[in-house]
């Protein structure tokens, strides 16, 4: 079963929403649309009893049942649902670090582990500037050859991002990586975040 954490405030908030639906046995389904892609989205939806799917995993949260969509389970590992009150009422937050790439084992092939760290840790940060980075290949058994795109391509701060962000994170999280090489053509600056 996937490890999905629903905090007490989130559980209580969702229970209040369910109660307003006035449907006996109403639950909540969590699922990922387009799992395993860069467009993956983690979603919550009401799940009335007549829409329960027999293959879904069920988590009893005391106040309601949380249904984990069977096809989404590998992508929901370590998902976290929280609710925090604010001046506008509150905000429900869903974090699913494995939605774009399912969690992999420590003994997975080196390129898979590098791609996992790129998708789950590095690219979400680069996305704030419209950027992304992808693995081209591993050379000399320990050098990750990368290509930057979007707002990172041609960006004047890319060398800083590469050394202090990408390379340090990859070397820390995937110890077999000893260096990172950038093969991006940075002469194209049309989409660059910093020019």
Say yes or no: 114 and 72 in one domain: no
- Which residues line the annotated binding site? 152, 155
Say yes or no: 158 and 125 in one domain: yes
End-of-domain residue from the set 95, 126, 157: 95
Going from the C-alpha of 13 to that of each of 39, 52, 89, 94, 173, the distances in angstroms are: 27, 21, 11, 13, 35
End-of-domain residue from the set 95, 130, 163: 95
Say yes or no: 77 and 143 in one domain: no
pLDDT for residue 32? 94
Say yes or no: 31 and 88 in one domain: yes
pLDDT tens for each residue of 86-138 = 888 889 999 998 888 777 788 888 988 898 888 878 887 777 777 788 899 99
Say yes or no: 91 and 144 in one domain: no
In sequence order, what are the beta bridge partners of 80?
Answer: 5, 95
Whole-number mean pLDDT of the chain? Answer: 84
pLDDT for residue 2? 64
CA–CA gap between residue 74 and residue 78 (Å, rounded): 10
Q: Is 147 exposed, middle or buried (0-12, 13-18, 19+ CB in 10 A)?
A: middle
Say yes or no: 86 and 17 in one domain: yes
**DSSP assignment of 22-78, as one string?**
T-TT-EEEEEEESTTSTT-EEEEEEE-GGG--TTSEEEE-SSSEEEE-GGGHHHHTT
- Which residues line the annotated binding site for [4Fe-4S] cluster? 152, 155
In degrees and rounded to multiples of 5, residue 176 shows phi and psi of: -70, -20
Give a yes or no: residue 60 inside a domain.
yes
pLDDT tens for each residue of 68-89 = 999 899 899 999 999 998 888 8
Domain containing 141 equals 110-182
Say yes or no: 114 and 67 in one domain: no
In sequence order, what are the beta bridge partners of 118?
Answer: none
Averaged over 57-66, what is the pLDDT?
A: 95
In sequence order, what are the beta bridge partners of 60?
Answer: 65
End-of-domain residue from the set 70, 95, 120: 95
pLDDT for residue 12? 96
Say yes or no: 79 and 126 in one domain: no
Higher-confidence residue: 1 or 5?
Answer: 5
User: How much is the pTM?
Assistant: 0.62
Model confidence at 195: pLDDT above 70? no
Count of structural domains within the chain = 2
CATH of the domain at 146: 3.30.300.130
Say yes or no: 85 and 114 in one domain: no
Give a yes or no: residue 131 inside a domain.
yes
pLDDT for residue 112? 86
pLDDT for residue 154? 54
Say yes or no: 40 and 89 in one domain: yes
Give a yes or no: residue 188 inside a domain.
no
Give a yes or no: residue 193 inside a domain.
no
CATH of the domain at 66: 2.60.300.12
Give a yes or no: residue 29 inside a domain.
yes
Give a yes or no: residue 104 inside a domain.
no
Tell me if 15 sits within 8 A of 79, measured CB to CB.
Answer: no
């Amino acid at each position: 079963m996937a490890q999905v954490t629903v905090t007490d405030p989130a559980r209580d908030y969702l229970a209040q929403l369910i109660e307003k639906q006035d449907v006996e046995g109403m639950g909540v389904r969590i699922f990922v649309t387009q799992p395993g892609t860069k467009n993956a989205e983690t979603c919550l939806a009401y799940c009335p009893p007549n829409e329960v799917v027999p293959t879904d995993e069920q988590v009893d949260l005391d106040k309601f049942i949380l249904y984990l969509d069977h096809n989404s389970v590998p992508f929901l590992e370590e998902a976290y649902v929280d609710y925090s009150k604010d001046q506008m009422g509150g905000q429900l937050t869903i974090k699913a670090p494995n939605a774009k790439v399912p969690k992999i084992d420590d003994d997975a092939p080196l390129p898979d582990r590098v791609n996992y760290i790129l998708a789950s840790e590095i690219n979400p940060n680069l996305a704030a500037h419209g950027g992304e980075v992808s693995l081209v290949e591993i050379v000399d058994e320990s050098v990750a050859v990368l290509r930057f795109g979007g707002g990172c391509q041609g960006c004047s701060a890319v060398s800083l991002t590469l050394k202090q962000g990408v390379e340090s994170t990859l070397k820390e999280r995937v110890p077999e990586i000893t260096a990172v090489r950038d093969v991006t053509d940075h002469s194209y600056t049309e989409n660059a975040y910093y020019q």
